[in-house]
Structure 1
């Protein structure tokens, strides 16, 4: 996790964390919705159902937005969303170099 708690780093890329201001109940509801939506994506793919696939992907997007992982950022200091950026090319580069080298 980045020092400011905004991102996780997976394979060198930044991924936005869930909004820490969500209550445990809100977070769990959104996680449950996300898991249901991901199962629906898989089922739609197996069924080769494009309409169901589009609906399931929209449900994934809605759940990710509810978690704060997509859509408007959950922080309020006007810093940009760096999701998917390589950590080494962001303001976190120095921090990332120090932790990536310690593995």
Structure 2
């Protein structure tokens, strides 16, 4: 059985309309970007909430770090050291993904 995983990503768009993902895929060999304006990053205090991966597996419709989960979102604190370092490496002015 082929498994399809939908990974929620924020991408940038260049002036020609080409979508650029700054995070490489964790698995697989192909990436297809599909816009879904209903999936937005939420915030509560200093925590950003992103969607967990979605899969076409009936017993595991959502995945967190490759494992089934019932949670739709996961939280990323703005001051998480790995996020701050990654954004600095990319030259981003802050860690907000909104």
| TM superposition score category, shorter chain reference | under 0.3
Please report the TM-score for the alignment, with normalisation by the length of structure 1. 0.27
Name the structure where helix makes up a greater proportion of residues.
1
TM-score with structure 2 length normalisation? 0.27
Q: Which protein shows a greater Rg?
A: 1
Q: Higher strand fraction: Structure 1 or Structure 2?
A: 2
